[in-house]
Amino acid sequence: MHRRRNTHYSSRRGFLRTSTGALAASAAIAAISPRAYAAENNTIKIALVGCGGRGTGAAAQALSTKGPTQLWALADVFPERLTATHQNLSKTFGQKVDVPPERRFVGLDAFRKAIDSLDAGSLVILATPPAFRPVHFEYAVQKGRNVFMEKSFAVDAPGVRRVLAAGKLASDKNLKVAGGLMWRHDPAREAAIARLHDGMIGELVMLRTYRMHGAVGMSPRRAGMSELAYQIMNYNSFTWCNASFFVDWLIHNIDICCWAKNALPVAAHGHGGRQTRTAPDQMFDHYCVEYIFEDGTRLFAQGRHIDNCYSTFTDYVNGSRGSAILMTNLSAANPRIYKSHVQSRENEIWRYEGPTPDPYQVEHDLLFDAIRNDKPYNETERCAKAAMVAIMGRMASHSGQLLTYEQALASNLELAPGLEKWTTESDPPAMPDTSGRYAISMPGQTKEF
């Protein structure tokens, strides 16, 4: 799910959907809990790195957890984005937001200053575009900070390997790490997948996932804006920054399907391209990837953002004795299980009817509980491997080749080499030609591994 601007971040996190009054009530409940504000050292300080929609929403959820919390520092490349986040969160959370000007950091090195401002036991939220995640996560762990990191975690195999190494170090340091694959904490999906693992529809023989909707826009360049800033602002549009919309938008669904199968694919091939898109960026407007599991079964993943076409956002499973819907649409999973591959009401044998808490909030509740009560908590490996599966699908589509998971993970191709040394005036990996257009991947010609 792509990040919205601050004025629309409610669509990403449900921040404004949950009214200001309700959030205030949540804060009040936390304030009267036995541990709340009992002592200064019981307050968990939070630094937010990346003040777009994802980051602002994640900070809102963190501040809504049980027990005393305090937003301590903010960091972003764009000062206006940082200011908007500060104003929005201050309006809702009042004194829980304590970020004076000296702890509002701007620039590509702002993440270091924000993380350095925290003390032991604090939390850093990493919500910049995925290209920056390995560098930021590595630094946070080295500094001994607990971490919540948004997906997609990396854009290439070297980045995934850095994330995995930092995650191992986090375990060695007893740090708590959560990743933004929140559907793993959705009771509806948990209940449905538990039944699939118990054999309710037999052996799983095929899985399918789809994300298809209207075209994604591209913001115009502002006067005086550097090329790098322009691309970061439009991070969806550049493969080095966002890994492709296939990775960043389908990673949730791919993760859920792998969870249902209880395995990772061993190989993939696929295709994609630009058929209707006119923006001068690097985005494909459609992908189709076939993943192959070790037992020979398949996962088919399709992504498309083209106007005036059939739209769906769904996950399906077919088994030897029936089928299942794991997700109906973005707003509600509403999973069902059927005794047939004809998914009609008369063939339905199970439907989830339990509680439906916001999984975005649940993932933070679990993380903060682990921090406060020193419980083992590290989602790095699962998140990094989900990212690698999605990246493998992009690699297969962009190159036009079949490749194995081992080949993909071993790739040394970096989409943004030397990123940690960049300044705001550095040239990004993708530069426009004389007509202002950017090179796109060409299956059969592009090398991705």
pLDDT in tens, 145-193: 999 999 999 999 999 999 999 999 999 999 999 999 999 999 999 999 9
User: Which pLDDT value is given to residue 31?
Assistant: 36
Supply the DSSP symbol for 128.
S
* CA–CA dist 385, 435 (Å, integer): 39
Q: Which amino acid is at 221?
A: R
pLDDT digits (tens, 9 = 90+) for 364-386: 999 999 999 999 999 999 999 99
Stated pTM of the model: 0.91
Q: What pairs with residue 302 in β-bridges?
A: 210, 288
Higher pLDDT, 36 or 328: 328
Residues written for the chain: 449
Q: pLDDT tens for residues 320-360?
A: 999 999 999 888 899 999 999 999 999 999 999 999 999 99
pLDDT tier at 41, thresholds 50, 70, 90? low
CA dist., res. 429 & res. 48, Å (int):
26
Q: Average pLDDT over the chain, rounded to whole? A: 92
Fold of 184-357+388-421: Dihydrodipicolinate Reductase; domain 2 (3.30.360)
Question: What pLDDT, on the 0 to 100 scale, is given for residue 329?
Answer: 85
Could you tell me the strand order of the sheet in which 267-273 lies? 348-351, 336-338, 322-327, 312-319, 204-213, 298-305, 286-292, 267-273, 403-404
- Reported as type and span, the H/E element at residue 170 is helix 157-172
Answer yes or no: are the C-beta atoms of 139 and 340 closer than 8 Å.
no
Q: Which residues fall within 8 angstroms of residue 14, CB to CB, at 6 or more apart?
A: 57, 358, 360
In terms of phi and psi (left: phi > 0; alpha: psi -120 to 50; beta: otherwise), the region of 202 is left
CATH superfamily of 6-183+360-379: NAD(P)-binding Rossmann-like Domain (3.40.50.720)
Whether 134 contacts 165, CB under 8 Å:
no
Domain coordinates of the chain in residue numbers?
6-183+360-379, 184-357+388-421
pLDDT over 90, % of the chain: 89
Report the C-alpha gap between 122 and 70 in whole angstroms: 10
Across 60-167, the runs of DSSP E, i.e. the strands, are: 69-76, 104-106, 123-126, 146-149
For the residues 83-95, what does the mean pLDDT come to? 98
Q: Which token pair is 416? A: 């943004």
- H/E stretch holding 302: strand 298-305
Same fold: 6-183+360-379 with 184-357+388-421? no
Return all residues near 93 (Cβ < 8 A) that are at least 6 apart: 23, 27, 60, 63, 71
**Based on C-alpha coordinates, what's the Rg of the chain?**
21
Query: Which tokens hold the place of 104?
Result: 């509002």
pLDDT per position as a tens digit, 253-272: 999 999 999 999 999 999 99
Band of pLDDT at residue 8, cut at 50, 70 and 90: very low
Burial of 114 (0-12, 13-18, 19+ CB in 10 A): buried
- Of 291, 296, 300, which Cα lies nearest the Cα of 265? 291
